[in-house]
C-alpha cells in the first residue's frame, strides 16, 4: 500500500503521541505501508516545524528524528506534475504526489479542502481516523 501523509498528519503525530496520526506513523515505521514523500513536502515540513508556536510544543530531537526517518525510509516520488485542483492551491503538491507516486491513499486532516475532494488520481483521500481504522480492523482479524 502506497500512502501520502499530509504534513498536518506528520506534525500532529509529534504533538499528540497517542492519537491516530501517531498510530499511523508507527504503522509506517512497522512496515505496514510505503510512505511517499517529495522535496516539496520536505520543505513544507521543515518550514512548519520551525514555526515558533509549534516549536514550543515539539521537542527538537523528536522533530529531527521524524525528518531523518522520512529522508531515510520514505520513497521520494520524484518530479511532480502540475496539478490545480485543491481548494487551497498550497495543497496541490499533495495531489501531484498522488499522481507521481501512484498513491493508494492520501491521509489528511484538512476537513474543508482535501477531504472534500474524496479522491484524486488513484488515491482515496481519507482522514487519520479512517486510515487508522484500516489497521485496527486488520489487527482484530
| Nearest alpha-carbon partner for 23 in 38, 5, 39 | 5
pLDDT at residue 35 is higher than 90: yes
| Nearest alpha-carbon partner for 39 in 76, 70, 11 | 76
pLDDT at residue 136 is higher than 80: no
Q: Which residue ranges make up each domain of the chain? A: 2-140
Which of these ranges, 62-76, 95-109, 110-124, has the smallest mean pLDDT?
110-124
Contacts of 140 (CB under 8 A, 6+ apart): none
pLDDT at residue 114 is higher than 60: yes
Residue 77 pLDDT grade (very low, low, confident, very high; cuts 50, 70, 90): very high
Alpha helices in the chain (DSSP H): 7-15, 20-29, 39-49, 52-55, 60-73, 92-101, 114-117, 128-140
Average pLDDT over residues 87-96: 93
Average pLDDT over residues 9-16: 96
Question: What are 42's three cell numbers?
Answer: 520536505
Which of the four CATH numbers 3.40.50.620, 3.30.70.2660, 3.30.420.40, 3.40.50.1010 does domain 2-140 have?
Answer: 3.40.50.1010
Would the pTM count as exceeding 0.85? Answer: yes
Amino acid at each position: 500500500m502506497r500512502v501520502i501523509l499530509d504534513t498536518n498528519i506528520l506534525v500532529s503525530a509529534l504533538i499528540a503521541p497517542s492519537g491516530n496520526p501517531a498510530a499511523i506513523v508507527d504503522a509506517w515505521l512497522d512496515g505496514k505501508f510505503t510512505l511517499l514523500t517529495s522535496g516539496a513536502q520536505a520543505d513544507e515540513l521543515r518550514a512548519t516545524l520551525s514555526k515558533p508556536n509549534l516549536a514550543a510544543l515539539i521537542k527538537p530531537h523528536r522533530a529531527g528524528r521524524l525528518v531523518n526517518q522520512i529522508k531515510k525510509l520514505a520513497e521520494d516520488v520524484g518530479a511532480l506534475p502540475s496539478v490545480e485542483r485543491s481548494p487551497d492551491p498550497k495543497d496541490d503538491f499533495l495531489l501531484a504526489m498522488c499522481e507521481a507516486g501512484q498513491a493508494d491513499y492520501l491521509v489528511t486532516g484538512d476537513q474543508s479542502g482535501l477531504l472534500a475532494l474524496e479522491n484524486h488520481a488513484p488515491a482515496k483521500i481519507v482522514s487519520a481516523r479512517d486510515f487508522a481504522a484500516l489497521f485496527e480492523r486488520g489487527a482484530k482479524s
